[in-house]
Amino acid sequence: MRRRLAQATVVFVVIFAAAQLVRPSPANPPTDGTRTIQADETTKGLTTVLDRSCGDCHSNATVWSSWYTQIAPLSWLMAHEVTKGRQAVNFSEWAEYSAAKQRILLAASCNDAKSGKMPGPYTFFKPETRLSGQDVETICAAARQTEAKATGASQ
């Protein structure tokens, strides 16, 4: 029994070490600062929350220097989650979205923040990304303001 445990340990260590050779690319796409949500005048109060709690997965400004982005298989999971996050909404590409899409994305962000879906389990690795009640209210207020602005413009 001891021999099998030793063999299993050696196999695990070899596989874990080999996995470290398979690295996701830590490169971020280039960003035009004039096209980000930070450049949008109507979202000024929101950007602090987004930069702190949402930027690693929902922008082109992902910080890849944390320990969990360096060790497989966590590095693979992080790369996958960043890809999914950018596909859902990319605050670095905010100007690419129509005004209607921006309203929908902000409303969805409000709902996800209220329900605790976002920032999700990421807070386990980076506790400072947790959203306070005030942060959630900031996100939802921006969504309401954007909706009210659109409703007022269409009347």
Instruction: Judge whether 46 and 140 are in contact, CB under 8 Å.
Output: no
Q: Measured between alpha carbons, how far is 39 from 92 in angstroms, rounded to an integer?
A: 10
pLDDT at 29: 94
Name the pLDDT band for 154 (thresholds 50, 70, 90).
low
Residue 155 has pLDDT above 60, yes or no: no
Determine contact, residues 95/35, Cβ cutoff 8 Å.
yes
CA dist., res. 133 & res. 82, Å (int): 25
Q: Give the C-alpha separation, 47 to 36, whole Å.
A: 10
24: nearest Cα among 74, 58, 60: 74
Which pLDDT tens digit goes with each residue over 6-61?
A: 999 999 999 999 989 888 888 899 999 999 999 988 777 899 999 999 999 999 99
Contacts 24+ apart (CB under 8 A), 118-125: 118/53, 118/54, 119/53, 119/54, 119/57, 122/56, 122/57, 122/81, 125/66, 125/68
Question: What's the average model confidence in pLDDT over 135-149?
Answer: 92
pLDDT digits (tens, 9 = 90+) for 80-125: 999 999 999 999 999 999 999 999 999 999 999 999 999 888 888 8
